[in-house]
A and B are shown apart, each in its own frame.
Chain A
């Protein structure tokens, strides 16, 4: 039971390049989330998916797109990377219900040059 997995762990991009961050969960949870973590900023929500087939914008969606491929997988795409997108990206999953905690993946450290 791996929980939430993310690939890759590290990535370096040049400005303007594109890439997709992958996330998968084996907990059968309905909701999935993408956050970015920047020093002194805490975690900020980029996009979330309350259930398979739905996605919604979070606090900082500009420059990103997401796909909820199925119940297990939720990918985050940077179409044209910018230095401001240098960050650590975390995926999380949670069961439905306001009292349910989110479970986090190990993160992807992305540097955009």
Chain B
């Protein structure tokens, strides 16, 4: 049961341009969303979060947008840097739970 979906397994972007990673979810009870970055042979690293009371959260080069009616969130990275090359996971949870549901990840490659 894929409650969180990342339909693009990979994405390539030129250095300096914008990277847009997308995530869709099916459970309307999800109210907290996170993005994680994962390098090979390492654990996921928290990047940015957003709660359902907001539609945008910004932290430096990273901005997460939430469209609750479409059950869609996206992560924008601008400008993209080669060090951003990693697998990006979105994750979601319901308000009363501790369980996070992860997407399958999108592998981002930033080309110098």
Tell me whether A and B are bound partners: no
| A interface list, Cβ under 8 A from B | none
